[in-house]
Structure 1
Amino acid sequence: MPGSPRFIYLSALLVAVMVQLSSQTQYLNSSGDICRLFANGTKLRKPGGCNEWIVCKNSVSVHGGTCGGETPHFNLKSGTCSKTLDSTYCDPPCSSMTRGYVGDTLNCANWYYCEGEKVRTRGRCDGGLSFDQTQQKCLADGKTCGARFEMCDVVPTGVPFRDEKNCNKFYTCKKYKLVSNTCEAGKYYDRASGQCLALKHVACEHHPVPEHVCGTQEEPLRNKLVSDGATCRGYYYCHDVGAVGPDPRPTRQFCGHDYFFSQEHQQCVPRDSQKCSWDRCDGRTEGYEIAEVEGCHNYYRCIDNKESELLSCGEGYFDAITQNCTSTRTAYKACIHKIQ
């Protein structure tokens, strides 16, 4: 049957995962713009430097300014130029064990001449070159730059930014330490507004797995399909893992674009035959979708898989096939009151 679920069994992988805040380490040569995580207008310390800042505009980093003169350092707390450094992020790499030229872990172009912990001189490779620790000179960077930073080295205290692995979570920094925050139930973090909104208003690629989605230790669900609790087309397949209990890593799948998932029927069914409290434009980049409103007079305009506006056929009825209003009523289950 078109749109029917395909049961794909994925072998369990034994992966040792240590959840550490240091997992937010970012590399200076990363292809992803840091501003993809922040609201428009956010001011950040420029990664890899201590005297510049950037401003986020439409998810892109824009040069904000450069400090100099008597106030050569950018202060993350005040968002202004300062006489002194405000964190250890900008400390030179010199230690009691260092002698001679040392490359910077902050920025691959920087170098220091160290005598123990003392910095005798410092410099920067020009023309896009990087300091090579082995050859002790500036070279074209033929290998991956290892310069890195922690998010809280460049993000001011209390400024939220999205968790790319969990739509219902976001991060903030407190005393240069990363803090994970979770939106209240039923809401996702919206980067543009910096707030937690109803999930239908937030574009999400990584929906959180619902708690006890595959049952409990006492009553596990085995070889069952369960709604993902966030979309009309998404569902999980809970494998039978035997005495272990509920499946700890259920497989997430989606019905085809013309179908919604029905947990009652354990399969994908035509969209207009299924009630769904989530966004009914799921899977529709454009066009219209029958609204879950009694009478079948109403429908949604769909834009980029989201409900845009609720429209009405007045005394007429919406036809899901022709995508038009008609005087002929079709008893779509999505908009017919369920008799108790």
Structure 2
Amino acid sequence: MKGSSIIRNAAIQLSIFAIIALVPQTKALTAEQTCPLVKNNTYIGDPNDCQGWVFCTNGKAIYGKCNDNLFFDSANGVCDYPENVACNLNVETMCAGLTDIYKSDPNDCSKYCYCKDGETKCNKCPSGQFFDPNTISCVWATSSSCVANSPCLLAPNGFIGDGKTCTGYLRCGSSRVLSSGNCEEDRYYNPLNGMCDYPENVKCPGSPSKPPVSSEHIPPKDLCKKDGQFYSDGETCRGYFYCKNKGDTAKWGQCPKNSQFNEATQQCNDPEKVLCTKDRCDGTSKSFMAVANTNCKQYFNCNKGVENGQGTCPKDHPYYNEKAGVCQTDKLDYPICS
């Protein structure tokens, strides 16, 4: 990059200065900011130490460290050899061994650095803009792929709260945001259990004292035999009944879109990891979903979350890979393919 793109961006800044008020946070999130967004008793990365981990319990952060000079891999929640872990906590470690290349500042989306022969020279984008590592230029913040200010940077793969709204959630993968979404109108996203929950069960500003009641899903009598237990609703792939206390009347809820409820794990999992024989198009953004009990040789045609017929993979590629979205030659070991 010669700097011309930065100059061009600066030239148009004055004409659209009004959007600056909408620019999201530029700085990297702290562990204390990230913990309330993840499931209870989850390990995340320490933003100040490549060897460090943080145990998030009840929204609080407890710090620790990997042994034997290992680095903590936040995406997979394990301590691993440094060469297997991408840890860029500061400009110095980020530029080590690199030359003639531009990199984002790992702690500030508005900054970028030029790495050459182990030395760095850093600059800041014009006000209201972030450095985009994909285009190697300063762009308006809403268009940038910078992850320094994303909670996914420290969190493990899976669903977490977006930290902005009561209903919003993110799906993280490899320290990046893979997708985002919102719970239904009468539900809030509950980071402690990773599900769309009744507002009274979620600590969020403005949460009503009494949740709306759904008359469409009636729990079986005497379902709640344990405290804090989730049960499949038996009618949908995403729905579940939640028993806060033993002897309660269970309350119905749903997993976020593009996930399904797994009673065995008591979590919302990727659809291919759940053997559900109900409507598998419900809540998915995919165009095709495998049909249960067919060894993944058949698939549903899904249109905006609604089933619209079925299909069969060709004989030379007989197995439908739901995760990849293709028919393939090799058998699959996903639970839905059993």
- TM-score normalized with structure 2 length: 0.37
From the two aligned structures, give the one with the greater helix fraction: 2
